[in-house]
Structures are given as structure tokens and as C-alpha cells.
Amino acid sequence: MRRWLKIDLHIHSALSPCALPEMTPNNIVNMAEIIGLDVIAITDHHAADNVLPVYNLAKRKGIICLPGIEVQTREEVHLLCYFTAPEPLLEFTNHILSLLDQRVPSIGAQLIFDENDRVIGKKELFLHQSVPLTMEEIWHLAENYGACCVPAHLDRPAFGLLGQLGFVPPGLPVRTVEGTLRRAQELAGSGRYAGVITSSDAHSLEQMVMLGHTCLHPSLDSIDSIWHWLKNPDRQLVKTFVLDF
Ligand SMILES: [Zn+2]
Ligand SMILES: [Zn+2]
């Protein structure tokens, strides 16, 4: 039997204002290879320019890269949105970018790279600002573009759904959530959420190295099957927290 797939679906490139410049496409993919990740996702704040180079580099190494983005709602809740291909992600990202206040200048470098880690541009507006839409509005907008939505760091006080609102809005079809390393097993054991995953939320290469990872069943070995699992998770096909050795 093939081994379970080690995943990290929440990694920031140097396009995110708070990430280090070392978070280039090649560095991220090489680090993913070193620590044995089978599936990754680049989820920058309100931008996806570095997804395609990572997607292409990862593919050459046999690593699956799920196209993704992290969106900050009006309530300051972070929502991860995953797609089955880069194109709908880029279309959704353009929509989100058009809603941001273009006058707020960047505080970080917000670098855009090519596949050789050459800087080919940068975003001038500050990306880590709230989109002026509610969580429900963003959820449905993202789904219209073909996204599967996963609340990020659910139990974290800052920017987590439970930390910000204290509850999951009853009308929201939340199936999979991302928990912090500290509480993921407890969240999974509560039975409240069909799927619980852990991620690094890495803003540096060092942060990609975690104490434990979530693993998915070997049968989920494609972007489509992982996307469908996130949308409609089966508890038998996930190990929420596997200690790394
Ligand atoms: Zn976040
Ligand atoms: Zn993040």
C-alpha cells in the first residue's frame, strides 16, 4: 500500500506583506521536498501571482500544488479558498483585488517571481486588509468561482473564525476547518467538523518545518480528489495530526 500523503495547504510566498523575501517559488518547493510534503498550497493574502510558478515547479517534483488564496473578511476572519485549477483562482483574485482600498500603500515588499525566482514585479497596494464583504458574502462569491472554502486557523484568537466571532454562523456550510497544531486533535475529536486539517501558515522557510502534519489517504492523489475531500470530507481518509520524526 502506498503511504499517506503529507499535506500543508497554507503557505505564504514573499507576495504576502508579512512573509520573508526567502519565500520564493524554488525555495518553497525545495523545502517542501526536503520535509517530504506530497501536497502544498500557496495561500497569499488577496493575491495569487506566485501560485503558477510554484504550481509548475512542484509538478516537476511530483508534488501536488492546490491553487489557493487567503481572504480576510469584513469581520477580520481569514478564509482559505481552494480551486481545482489556477485560472478560476486568478479570476476570483482579480475580483477580490478590485474590492480592496487601492490607496493603502504596501508595507512589505510583496514580491512577484518567475519560475527562476527572478523578481518580475510587486504589488503596490497593501494586501493584508479586509475585503468589505461579510464572511457569508465572500464564501458564496468564492463558490461561484469554483472554490472550496475552509476557515483558516479556526481556534486562533487573531483572525480565526472562533476567535473573532466566537461561533460558526449557522447558515455557513462549513465542512473542513483548519485548526492550530495545539488544538487540531481536540477539534477533530469533538466530531463537530467533518474534516480537520493542520497547516503551517508559514511566512518563512523555518516555519514550514512543523512538529506534525495532516496526512490524507493515498487514494487522494490528485488536485480534484483533494478538493472534493475538502468539500465533503470523509474522516476515514484523514489523519489530522501525525508526529514528524
Ligand atoms: Zn491567516
Ligand atoms: Zn495565512
Q: pLDDT of 168-180, one tens digit each?
A: 988 899 999 999 9
221 pLDDT band (50/70/90 cuts)? very high
Confidence (pLDDT) at 243: 86
β-bridge pairing 39-42 and 64-65: parallel
- The answer on pLDDT for 1 being more than 70 is no
Summarised one tens digit per residue, pLDDT across range 97-144 is 999 999 998 888 999 999 999 999 999 999 999 999 999 999 999 999
Measure 70 CA to ligand 1 centroid, in angstroms.
Answer: 7
Confidence (pLDDT) at 108: 85
Longest dimension (CA), the chain: 54
The C-alpha cell that represents 117 in the structure block = 525566482
Measure 227 CA to ligand 1 centroid, in angstroms.
Answer: 20
Mean pLDDT, rounded, of the chain: 95
The domain over range 5-243 is classified in CATH as 3.20.20.140: yes
Measure 60 CA to ligand 1 centroid, in angstroms.
Answer: 28
First and final CA of the chain: distance in angstroms? Answer: 21
pTM over 0.85: yes
Summarised one tens digit per residue, pLDDT across range 43-54 is 999 999 999 999
Ligand nearest to the Cα of 156, by number: 1
Per DSSP (E only), the strands in 48-192 are 64-65, 68-72, 78-82, 111-113, 119-122, 148-151, 176-179
Answer whether 46's CB lies under 8 Å from 57's CB: no
- The answer on pLDDT for 71 being more than 70 is yes
